[in-house]
Chain A
Amino acid sequence: MSDSSEVNKPVDQNTALVPAPDRPPAPIEPFNALRSTTRLLVGLALVGSDELLKRLEMLERDFDALPRDPEELAARIRTSPTGQHIPDDIRHALIGLAFELQDQVRVQTPRLLAAADQIIGDVTRPAQSVLNRIPIIGSLSKSLGLQYDTLQKRGEVRLQRWIAIGQREEARSRVLADQTFTQIVDDVIGYLADKPEVQDLIMGQTTGLAGEVLGEVRERTVSGDSFLEGIVRSVLRKAPRAELPPPSTEIRQSAVKVPERPLVASSAAKGDQL
């Protein structure tokens, strides 16, 4: 509850209009080439790892979904250089070792660390109690212990600093790597698009492809012409065509060259058969 006298206090006009102080903006960091390069490399490593892991996951999933033919796989192994030169047993043992080692490292490392800790504790505790009884060594041991503690604290502080830097830099590094990659791709595409040779190549390929498709469509419709005709003739019980009736030479020539436009006089003379 606030004091009533404070509530009824007249508002000072000068202070009331002053906005609440904002958080000070982060100081703009001057460009540092080394730092930026490091950021880029870190970003590329992170983004690259992400992409690699994504693809690996996809490939593993594909392999599980569509298992290959064992015969085919065996044949491929037999014909490969490693399959031909390294005896099967040795090769299999080495591969097995790699996988076993990886599993062992993953499972045994925490156990080994805990055991080492235990052993060191067991060994140093009685020794320390004995050594502490000797005056010079006792003070030396205390001093060493203090130094160790200081070192440990410094290590922890440094680790915390690294974590803080990592948290701050990760997102920025990723964005920088993404943007750099996109920019490079855009620049390369822009450069290629500006090259007349590339343009000619693309144009030529596009035209060639369109021409091929058109040719295919035309051929199919020409086939369709005769095919449909054949069906209709068989339905109407008409004899199949002995041959397609050839038009006169004059008409066939008109298909090769653009036919001339009939002159008014000549068409008038012929009566323009309509």
Chain B
Amino acid sequence: MSKTRSKGLFSTGILNVEPDSLQGYYAGFASRAVAIVIDYTIIFLVGAVSIGAISVFLDLATVQRFIQWVNAILPGFERIFVWLTSARFAAIFVVLLGYAYFIFFFSTTGQTIGKAIMGLRVVTTDGKRMGVKRSFIRTLCYAVSLAPLGLGFLWVLGEDRRRAWHDKIAHTYVLYVWDARYEENFLRNAVYQLTKKREATKVGKASK
């Protein structure tokens, strides 16, 4: 399935092996990071629109009259509506929306929108789709991965099976589900830039 190259790009020490296709292989940090950025963008956009809609609804004259009417019967009732327009509610709403989003998509397809765009899927360690419980735990453990300055996410870079802490806790893998291949020009350029920098540093050190 994979072949070893002796010369060129894959002999730079950065990559030694070029598989024909990476479909079904463990997905790496960059793909997962892009996917999660897309997901959080969607969550924040939907959250912002929803909170805006709630605020507009509560500002309607009829709703205000209704709140005052209820408040006359049940004093203190309007505090709930004041809380609904507060920043704290907005934060809680977005967090809950995020949880709902991840749990729904992980448990139904194994792919969030961001992961689907990037061609990734989360599966259990035995290759099955996650249930609601596992999806919930995996999503909850994002916080664990994030807590030590995101070290749990960065763990993907050093781990053999490219697993983050939340993957380890929830017993999941993230796989490429598309016919994943390297973009050789991009990679060649990146490797060239890196080696040039290394050589420049070496020359600088030698001259000193």
Question: Which chain B residues lie closer than 8 Å to A258 at the CB level?
Answer: 109-110, 129
Which residues of chain B in 107-145 are interfacial with respect to chain A, using CB atoms and an 8 Å cutoff? 109-110, 117-119, 121, 123-129, 131, 133-134, 137
Does B34 count as interface, using CB distance less than 8 angstroms?
yes
Q: List, in ascending order, chain A residues with CB within 8 A of B93's CB.
A: none
Q: Are A222 and B129 in contact (CB under 8 A)?
A: no
Q: In the bound complex, do residue B170 and residue A274 qualify as a contact, i.e. CB atoms below 8 Å apart? A: yes
Is B173's beta carbon under 8 Å from chain A?
A: yes
Question: Given A225-B30, A226-B14, A274-B137: A214 and B117 within 8 A (CB)?
Answer: yes
| Chain B residues with CB below 8 A from A219, complex form | 180-183, 186
Residue B15 CB within 8 A of the other chain: yes
CB contacts under 8 Å to B, within A97-119, are none
Q: How far is the CB of A212 from chain B (nearest CB, A)?
A: 12
Pair A222/B173 contact, Cβ less than 8 Å: no
Q: Specify which chain B residues have a CB less than 8 angstroms from the CB of A2 in the assembled complex.
A: none
- Residue B24 interfacial (CB < 8 Å): yes
B194 at the interface (CB under 8 A from A): yes
What's the nearest-Cβ distance from chain B to residue A144, in Å? 89
With contacts defined as CB atoms under 8 Å apart, how many contacts are there between chain A and chain B in the complex? 172
CB within 8 Å of A: which B171-208 residues: 171, 173, 175-178, 180-184, 186-187, 190-191, 194
Output the residue of A232, A260, A274 with the most chain B CB within 10 A: A274
B176/A255 in contact, CB under 8 A: yes
Contact A255 B121, beta carbon cutoff 8 Å: yes
B150 close to chain A: CB less than 8 A:
no
Bound-state Cα–Cα, A272 to B135, Å: 12
Chain B residues near A253 (CB, 8 Å)? Answer: 24, 127
> A181 near B: Cβ within 8 Å?
no
Asked if B22 CB lies within 8 Å of chain A CBs, one says yes
Residues B180 and A218 in contact, CB atoms below 8 Å apart: yes
Chain B residues near A244: list those with CB within 8 A. Answer: 2, 17, 19, 22, 25-26
Known A219-B181, A222-B180: A252·B23 in contact at CB below 8 Å: yes
Q: Any chain B CB within 8 A of the CB of A150? A: no
Contacts of B27 in A (CB 8 A): 225
Chain B residue at minimal CB-CB distance from A264: B131
The interface residues of chain A, by DSSP majority, are classed as helix
**Which residues 224-261 of A sit at the B interface, judged by CB distance below 8 A?**
224-234, 236, 238, 240-248, 250-256, 258-261
Residue from the list B23, B124, B183 in contact with A262, Cβ < 8 A = B124
What 1/0 mask marks residues of chain B from 96 to 111 whose CB sits below 8 Å from any chain A CB?
A: 0000000000000110
Residue of A nearest to B158 (CB): A232
Q: Chain A residues near B161: list those with CB within 8 A.
A: 245, 247
Q: Which of B19, B22, B30, B175 contacts A224 (CB 8 A)?
A: B30
Interchain CA distance A226-B160 in the complex, whole Å:
12
Q: Is A273 an interface residue (CB 8 A)?
A: yes
8 CB-based A-B contacts, threshold 8 Å: A224-B28, A225-B31, A225-B162, A240-B15, A247-B175, A252-B23, A253-B127, A259-B127
User: Which B residues contact A (CB, under 8 angstroms)?
Assistant: 1-2, 4, 13-17, 19, 22-31, 34, 109-110, 117-119, 121, 123-129, 131, 133-134, 137, 157-158, 160-162, 170-171, 173, 175-178, 180-184, 186-187, 190-191, 194
List 19 other contacts, CB 8 Å, given A227-B14, A227-B190. A217-B118, A221-B118, A222-B176, A222-B183, A223-B183, A224-B31, A227-B191, A234-B13, A244-B25, A244-B26, A246-B1, A247-B175, A253-B127, A254-B24, A255-B175, A258-B109, A259-B127, A273-B125, A274-B170
